[in-house]
Amino acid sequence: MKTFLLILGSCILLSSSCEKEDLAPRLRRETAEKIMGKWMVERTINQVYDPLPTLSSTKESAGTADDFFDFKTDALVEVKSAASGSKMEEYIVWNPYQVKIGDVSWRIEELTQTGLVLLWDRNDAARYMRFVTKVNLVRSP
């Protein structure tokens, strides 16, 4: 009986000492792994709401071969645009729905093996306006 209790106690001790990864860090890591690589800009949609909540203008532009986001493994992303050139920015995946690139926090609206949709939504309360930028990206082969 003492042996049985000793074995049972050891099993309980061993099973409680095994740590499972917390859910939030695991989801952040999985999202960071999915986002890794080069994403070509398919199109960008800019919307202006003036005054709120009235949509006053929408401008859509197609991406070119020079427009991309290249997420590196060392928390850096190369952002290249035909209009503004290339720059390296730091990025951090906050959760499966948010990524911060440089000083801009983007909402991840969609993330699949082949598609990524980023949304930047900002309000200008002083002017009673809202600006929304949506970038549709496709994974580069």
Domain boundaries, the chain: 24-139
The CATH number given to 24-139 is 2.40.128
Residue range 34-75, pLDDT digits in tens: 999 999 999 999 999 999 999 999 999 999 999 999 999 889
Q: What is the DSSP pairing of strand 98-101 with strand 104-111? A: antiparallel
pLDDT of residue 111: 98
Question: Given a cut of 60, is residue 17 above it in pLDDT?
Answer: no
85 dihedral zone (left: phi>0; alpha: psi -120 to 50; beta): left
Residue 78 sits at the vertex; the CA angle it makes with 99 and 130, to the nearest 5 degrees, is 45
pTM for this model (two decimals): 0.83
Residue range 23-37, pLDDT digits in tens: 889 999 999 999 999
